[in-house]
Structure formats: C-alpha cells, structure tokens
Amino acid sequence: MDKKRIAILGSTGSVGTQALDVAAGHPDRLHVECLAAGRNVDLLAEQAERWQPSVVSVGTEQDAAELRRRLEPGGTRVVWGAEGLREISLHSNVDTVLNAVVGAAGLAVTYDAVTAGKQVALANKESLVMAGELIMAAARRHEADVLPVDSEPNALHQCLRGEHISNVRRLILTASGGPFRTWPQERLAEVTPEEALNHPTWLMGQRITIDSATLMNKGFEIIEAYWLFGVPLEAIEVVVHPQSAVHSLVEFSDGSLVAQVGPTDMRIPIQYALSYPERWKSVVEYLQVPASSPWDFEPSGGDRFVALDLARQALRAGGTAPAVLNAADEVAVAAFLERELRFDQITSVVADVLEEVPTTSADSIESILEADAAARRAAQARVVK
Ligand code: MG
C-alpha cells in the first residue's frame, strides 16, 4: 500500500503534536516527509530524530544553525523562515500539507500548497478568515482539496459528503459557549486570563481558547464555513451545545438533520483530514453512546454573542474586512493576556477597528496583509495607553 506523504507545519504546537500521534498510530498509511516549527528547537530536534523527515524548517537562521548542529549530518535538510515554509509547501514528495502554523504566516503556506495542487489539511484559521475567496478560487483552479481540521467545519464537511450543496437548508455550527456561558454579563469585566484559558471541553492553544471564550472563534468558523461550502451567510447558524459532543449539523431541504458526533479530541478531525477520502481506525477511544451526560442545545443571540455579529458584519462588508476582524482580535487577545485590556473590551476593540479601517479589495495576498497591518496598528493604538 502506498503511504500518504505528509508535511506537518506547526509540528510542535497542539495540533502538530496530535497529528504526530495520528501518524504514530498509522505507520503503514502515513509517511512524515517534512516538519516545520516556529521557535521550539528542542522539540523539533526530537521530532526530527524520531521521524527522519527529508526537510525540516524552523523560524530563524540562528535556530536553523542550532538544529543543524544537533541533527546527524547528511540526513534531514534544515531550512528556515518564510522561504523554508514555502519550500515545504511546494515540496514535490509531499501529498498532503497539514497547515497548523499559528497566525498570518500560515496564509502563504495554504496558498502555495493549493496552487501546487496539494491536499491541504487546514488548521490555520487565518487562511480562510483572511483570504477565503482567494484560497478557495485557487483550490478550484488547481483541483486541490481543502479539508478543515477545526472540529466544527470538519463536522460539516463530513455531513456534506456526497450531498448537493443546493439541497442544504442550514449549516448549524455548535458552540460550547465557553467557560462564561452562565456568568452574568456584568461579571465579564472581571474575567482573568487564567479563567479564560480554562476551556470546559477542548484542549487548545492560547489564542483560540480566548477566542472561544469571547465566541469570536465561532465567528471565524462562520467565515470558514461560508468559504468552504459556498452557502449564503443567512444559511449559517450557531447553536450553543455545552457538551461539545455534536460537532455540527446540516439541515437538508427534505427536513433531515445530519449531525457529526464524536469524542472531544482533536485527533479525530486531524485524522479525518489526513486520511480523506479514506477512513482509518481511530487512535483515540471511541465515544460511548448513549453518552453518560445529556446533550443540551440553546439558541445563540443577544449581547453575549456580539462576536458572531461582528464576523457576519465583516463577511457582508467583504474584501479585506474579515482580515481586519482577525488582526484586531489577535492584538486585543494578546493585550488581554498581558492584562492591558479587560475581557469584555476585546470585542469592543474589534468593533471599533472594523469601523475605522477602510475595506479594500482582497484580490491578492499582499493587499490582505496590508489590511492586516493597518488593523494591527489601529488595534494597538487602542490597547496601549
Ligand atoms: Mg472549532
């Protein structure tokens, strides 16, 4: 059996390490061809020794030199920076690129990989939030599959397999509601970074955990779903489902609702995106059905869900507005983690920046990155006193 040759970009992060768990569980199916990480040279060196990839990339030239010292000469090639990521994204031996790069740096990776016709397992949110139109157009042109790793869009992808999108009435994204779902509105001003980082159901990186608490993460998923599946914005809804067992649902025109249900473990959607179009044995424990707890659903809407409104507003404005939304949020979340901004001010900073920064056409990666930079400056001016 031919093995699928994969590149894992962001290999030392939460998604990257879990992807390597999946690879370890399927040595007969997956071959780790390339790895890339930002700054964690220690873990990357360990991973390179274990997996013997042909190429690894690291953030800086200095770290690349350090990595070369640690690895056996004549084995793995070490590259670095944006060029390093680019080399791996385009690597002729790679079938599937798992893009788990953190932040806007991941955008170019996705674009390069789809234009090279690779299958892309997409964990980098910025790619579709900032440049959804551009990337999906390139993916269609080059017949590249874009497979969402994010559990809710991943669930929608599973529910939609073999279906005609014209038969879809609604895409229903589930949201855990975050750790403050039951808190009174006025207490949100006092939320500390420690409280916000304590997500009730999912174990994830810092920014996405804060974005889950503000619901901005769900706003981003509305944007991801919009570009991935090509339905009207009005057909995408969010319901609160605190147990995170039902990862999302699709309602079809004939009245059938199809849901994807599974353990709250990222290795499930990661493996789905790596194995697609096949399905392989799970590397995690199977969910017991009926589950021991009930499954609750509540509507979303009102003050607590202002982040969803901001995401919809950005998508309606079109062009670079979603990129502005993302950049403003990233700056605001970082300021909150540094205790320079209150929790309830994160979305108000984003709303202000969305008003202030003009929307332009998102017709190139460059124009999107310019809007990103303008939004960062505008957000920074609001958080630094
Ligand atoms: Mg998600």
Q: For residue 159, which of 298, 221, 244, 148 has the smallest C-alpha distance?
A: 148
CA of 71 to the centre of ligand 1 (A): 36
**Cα 74 to ligand 1 centre (Å):** 41
Report if residue 204 sits inside a domain: yes
- For residue 167, how far is its CA from the centre of ligand 1 (angstroms)? 24
Residue 239 half-sphere exposure toward CB, CA atoms < 13 A? 18
Mean pLDDT of 103-128: 94
Q: pLDDT of 71-82, one tens digit each?
A: 988 899 999 999
Residues 136 and 177 in one domain: no
Residues 144 and 166 in one domain: no
Whether residues 52 and 82 fall in one domain: yes
Distance (angstroms) between ligand 1 centre and the Cα of 148 equals 10
Instruction: Report the pLDDT value the prediction gives residue 202, as an integer from 0 to 100.
Output: 65
Domain co-membership, 106 together with 221: no
310, 91, 135, 155: which is closest to 220 by C-alpha?
310
Tell whether 326 is covered by a domain.
no
**Domain tally for the chain?**
2
Could you tell me the distance, in angstroms and rounded to a whole number, from the CA of residue 217 to the centre of ligand 1?
7
User: Does the pLDDT value for residue 223 go beyond 90?
Assistant: yes
Give the confidence band of 8 by pLDDT, cuts at 50, 70, 90: very high
pTM recorded for the entire structure: 0.94
Return contacts of 189-196, CB within 8 angstroms, 24+ apart: 189/342, 189/343, 189/344, 190/343, 191/342, 191/343, 191/344, 193/336, 193/337, 193/339, 196/336, 196/343
One-letter amino acid identity for 124?
A: N
Contact between 194 and 317 under an 8 Å Cβ cutoff? The reply is no
| Average pLDDT score, the chain | 94
| Residue ranges making up the domain that contains 76 | 4-148
Distance of CA 197 to the CA centre of its chain: 17
Does any domain span residue 359? no
Is the pLDDT assigned to residue 46 strictly greater than 70?
A: yes
pLDDT at 291: 59
**Å from CA of 310 to ligand 1 middle:** 17
Backbone angles phi, psi at 171, to 5 degrees: -100, 125
Q: Examine residue 119 and state whether it is found in any structural domain, yes or no.
A: yes
Task: Clarify whether residues 166 and 302 are in a common domain.
Answer: yes
Does one domain contain both 14 and 102? yes
142, 161: one domain? no
What is the CA(315)–ligand 1 centre distance, in A?
Answer: 18
Which amino acid makes up residue 39?
Answer: R
